[in-house]
Structure 1
């Protein structure tokens, strides 16, 4: 496209395709792309959701997670499960932080109706890559949580060795590094250059927009640019969406079966069941709820991914099964679903862990009398392996002869 072409910044743009860059392959796989770039919405409700709903849910998640961080750090909680939960809260916070700038600037302030200035093109690209990296990390951290809990309930005596603190930290580091490597490629193959925009009379210069194009080295190294981009899309989708969802589905099914069997055992022999068994069962229920909620939010994303791959494989472009309007509506609602799930996690900690509640009360309401809660209903999945059981529970814990003290602390983590 000739940069000296006369364009009107606030009107309805005629559709223009840059055949040299074929950048529609990178963004939407549709036939055309509009220059200068605008963020289109198809329905009035999308402006409300993309702006106010996204902004409020993201900000609320960040605030709640900051409270969770403070409780974890203040209590110096150091167990494999708590470390994964803390890493998950960090990744969810970063995800929400990448949503807030666009939600506020583009939709709340109404700038979606104007073309994007150059600096906002750069900001949106950086936020997009950071979002994809942390979203992938979040998906794999939930999968790691499911794997850990499945090992604990299936192999209780080997769990301490396989799910040690060292292995957990290595797994979290590997997940973060893999997510970075996968999406850093997508970050560097795109060049963002300024695009001169003229007023309607073709004389006055307006703030620069941008032209997003494939990097020159990527074009030269790719015999078939379209196939390279589609292959990258499929590979990143398998790693970031499909595999975590598959692992999460298997671990959730395993925990469902174990919970049903264990719940029946505890119910049939309620008086003979050890206190530790009940704590393990309760911690497993709590983590099962977290896994189930995440699985529900990710299944719709996996369904969309399969539709996209089908469109690309059969029709070589997007928009044949889902129109662009339907695609954006699906994506908008899907983001709302997992933002709600991010908010629910902290409330699960609060309502199902007496230790978390006690730490929260002590930290944020020190002037109020602490509500003493029965340890019979408490969940000590957060308890450090070095902490000793309360004196009131010591005699009951000792009755669990079949589990060593070290294993007992780990199983309830």
Structure 2
């Protein structure tokens, strides 16, 4: 079972000819990796829970208040909820730490809760990342619009809207799956397609597939790709401008201001977050779309076999942002040091810490 949702509905109308989409190598990899996945996923989750909590503590300080940091804090909360649900899931279904049957009613209730909660919060994470990309593009490409549109008030509205809208977007999934008894006499249960999803030629099942594969996966990935390209273009323009300034005769115009340097560093950090997100989400969206188009054979041979790998990539994406903050944001490092570290530590300045206009850049 995948982290972000149950397997998408497949086109099951009529018998399908035997087609081999993914060979024995994919199946062998799936079996081999499954032996490691539980322990690896547990380690990533524990690391990610710790770092995301630390990130929230740092990003919510008064000195760190900004629209970008507010979005990053909202993103960290969503990632925490995903990993909180994944820990008991991996302990039971991969490591088998609890020693109980997976077919009891209690574990069926947990499984259904796990599917819905992780899908909702992962969807929140996806769309907050889209908001982050749009906000950052406005900040670097259209500063006047950024001041008007990306205020703290509008940012708060965007974050709250994501947390309200995403559960609504996941309603088809809520209705598609239900706890189903395997055999009433044995008391064994599993999560399967609901009776409602099987009515009207599986209309609800198909609707859930399109919502999941297109609106939850591919559409935000396409938007992120567009804005990531725009951000890269803006960074290239800044680099070109800096090169032109360096060739000017007057030394006073030979360097970028502290504000410009801060903007470039922040944009590079957020661009790294966006590109990592695309690397983990785009493949899953494409596989999900192909599963619906090509049917159950592709779903069984490819999508399900790659499920554990897609899970660990998504978990790594949720856990690694703290590393980007520490490595690329001097302000984040300084605030983190003030809150958690007792020894004296001076952040790396920009070339002695003084800009061409005499401004101290060491705190940027």
TM-score between the two structures when normalised by the length of structure 2: 0.82
SS of the residue 1:329 aligns to: coil
- The residue number in structure 1 matching 2:296 is 318
The structure with the greater share of residues assigned to helix is 2
Deviation by residue 1:43-68 (Cα, 9 ceiling, x = unmatched): 54243243111111111111111111
Out of 255, 267, 280, the residue aligned to residue 284 of structure 1 is 267
Matched, 1:62 2:37: no
Question: How does 1:361-400 map onto structure 2 within 5 Å?
Answer: 361-366=337-342, 368-374=343-349, 396=358
Structure 2 CA distance for aligned equivalents of residues 133 and 377 of structure 1: 47
Indicate conservation of the 8 Å contact 1:51/1:103, yes or no.
Answer: yes
Out of 242, 267, 281, the residue aligned to residue 243 of structure 2 is 267
Out of 164, 182, 192, the residue aligned to residue 179 of structure 2 is 192
Deviates more, 1:299-308 or 1:42-51: 42-51
**How far apart are residue 276 of structure 1 and its match?**
1.7
**How far apart are residue 394 of structure 1 and its match?**
11
- The residue number in structure 2 matching 1:250 is 226
Structure 2 CA distance for aligned equivalents of residues 88 and 136 of structure 1: 10
Indicate conservation of the 8 Å contact 1:68/1:346, yes or no.
Answer: yes
Deviation by residue 1:257-298 (Cα, 9 ceiling, x = unmatched): 111121121133242432222221121111111111111111
Which protein has the larger Cα radius of gyration, Structure 1 or Structure 2? 1
Cα RMSD of the aligned pairs, angstroms, is 3.1
Indicate conservation of the 8 Å contact 2:196/2:204, yes or no.
Answer: no
SS of the residue 2:346 aligns to: coil
Question: How does 1:151-190 map onto structure 2 within 5 Å?
Answer: 151-190=138-177
Unaligned 5+ residue runs, structure 2? 1-5, 16-26, 247-253
Structure 1 CA distance for aligned equivalents of residues 179 and 222 of structure 2: 36
**How far apart are residue 359 of structure 1 and its match?**
1.2
Structure 2 CA distance for aligned equivalents of residues 109 and 261 of structure 1: 53
- The residue number in structure 2 matching 1:3 is none
- The residue number in structure 1 matching 2:73 is 86
- The residue number in structure 1 matching 2:200 is 223
Higher relative contact order (CA 8 A, sep 6+): 2
Structure 2 CA distance for aligned equivalents of residues 353 and 363 of structure 1: 16
- The residue number in structure 2 matching 1:210 is 189
**How far apart are residue 90 of structure 1 and its match?**
0.9
Deviates more, 1:140-149 or 1:67-76: 67-76
SS of the residue 1:158 aligns to: helix
Indicate conservation of the 8 Å contact 2:265/2:329, yes or no.
Answer: no
